[in-house]
Amino acid sequence: MSGLGGLNKSPNGVVLGMVQLQLPNVVTKQDLAAQTQVIVDMVGKARRNMASMDLVVFPEYALHGLSMDTNPDIMCTLDGPEVGAFKQACVDNDIWGCFSIMELNPGGMPYNSGLVIDNTGELKLYYRKLHPWVPVEPWEPGDLGIPVIDGPKGCKLALIICHDGMFPEMARECAYKGAEIMIRTAGYTAPIRESWKFTNQSNAFCNLMVTANVCMCGSDGTFDSMGEGMIVNFDGTILAHGTSGRPNEIITAEVRPDLVREARIHWGVENNIYQFGHRGYVAVKGGARDCPYTYMSDLVAGTYRLPWEDAVVHVDGTSCGFPAPTRAYGEKAVKDAAE
């Protein structure tokens, strides 16, 4: 179904290009500008590489690298020159693009944000990572939920970032809101390789949803990212997988959102996204529609607590060199509202 990586594009196909971008080392504004140009040039390479490509996807940390540097001088804004350059690249190459920025957040830690820009240069999707990879990452927890948009060729498109994909609730939320393709961008290194693979597959199969996933690639002299571009069909089958670890390789495949829609309507066995909310519909009309999951009701009530909660060792970022926070989630928003 991959259409030989998208070379043979069907009328209903969406061709995805996952860029295993070389891991950069960005310290200064000049470094940031230079890496912005690298990404712009790679958008052009993607278009030249495959004329049928609809969406080119860059990994998390494509612009800033893995240093976790929160220096305000190299943070980005939606109206800044970096995002402006990405928009122009999409226009110049008549292609949709997915990009990663570390977003300035005055009065708080930066957000780890993902953007999808269409081929006219319009920002169509704006997402802030809900689950930073603690205790390693210092980013502010996202506050925008998970948007789902009309993507290229009318597909329903969602974006999550890296560690988000380790929580099955994230993929389920994307599918519940209608996503047919879920992008997962990441900066992961080799120790996560196996869990990366099976979560990409389970996120697809459990939700009858295509997942399109890619990490940074290569070394910055300290860290080694693994690439592992992976496009997974809605039945959990891997359509394309970048196993060479070659930086700047673009992993491509054609996916079929129309077949996702068909499966969600016609599958009986393993139509899990439907059956989750209609338990045992053979025995009882419409199935049970209750919520039997304690962790869900406790989370909504603000009382989520594990049986081993008091024994958990890592509960802040001090083990990774970050000071323990004193500001509770939401305090900044309350302060801003008061002003």
Q: Indicate if 327 and 220 belong to the same structural domain.
A: no
**pLDDT exceeds cutoff 90 at 321:** yes
DSSP string, 76-140: B-TTSHHHHHHHHHHHHTT-EEEEEEEEP-TTSPPEEEEEEE-TTS-EEEEEE-SS--TTT--PP
- pLDDT single digits (tens) 246-261: 999 999 999 999 999 9
Looking at the fold, whether 329 and 265 belong to one and the same domain comes out as no
Say yes or no to pLDDT of 315 above 90. Answer: yes
249 is catalytic: no
Q: Residue 336 in 3-state DSSP?
A: helix
Cis peptide upstream of residue 323 (ω within 30 degrees of 0): no
pLDDT of residue 212: 98
Q: Based on the structure, what is the number of domains in the chain?
A: 2
1 or 81, which is more confident?
81
Q: Which position among 76, 82, 87, 129 bears the catalytic label?
A: 129
Mean pLDDT score, 140-168: 98
* pLDDT at residue 4 in the model: 85
Is 280 within a domain?
Answer: no
pLDDT in tens, 64-89: 999 999 999 999 999 999 999 999 99
Count other Cβ atoms within 10 Å, centred on residue 92. 14
Q: Are residues 132 and 16 in the same domain?
A: yes
Q: Does residue 338 have a pLDDT over 90?
A: no
Question: Are 110 and 51 in a shared domain?
Answer: yes
Per-residue pLDDT at 46:
98
- What is the arithmetic mean of pLDDT over 98-111? 96
31 phi and psi angles, rounded to 5 deg: -60, -40
Q: Residue 217 catalytic?
A: no
The reply to whether 60 belongs to the active site is yes
Is the same domain home to 308 and 215?
no
Annotated catalytic residue within 98, 155, 162, 217: 162
Is residue 329 domain-shared with residue 250, that is, in the same domain? no
Are 19 and 164 part of one and the same domain? yes
Query: Tell me, what CATH number does 214's domain have?
Result: 3.60.110.10
Asked whether residue 312 falls in the same domain as residue 247, the answer is no
| Domain carrying residue 329 | 294-338
Count CB neighbours of 320 within 10 A.
13
With H, G, I as helix, E, B as strand and everything else as coil, classify residue 271.
coil
| Mean pLDDT for the stretch of residues 160-175 | 98
- State the pLDDT at residue 336: 53
Q: Are 172 and 316 members of one domain?
A: no
Q: What predicted TM-score, i.e. pTM, was given to this entire model?
A: 0.96
Reported confidence tier of residue 331, pLDDT bands at 50, 70, 90 = confident
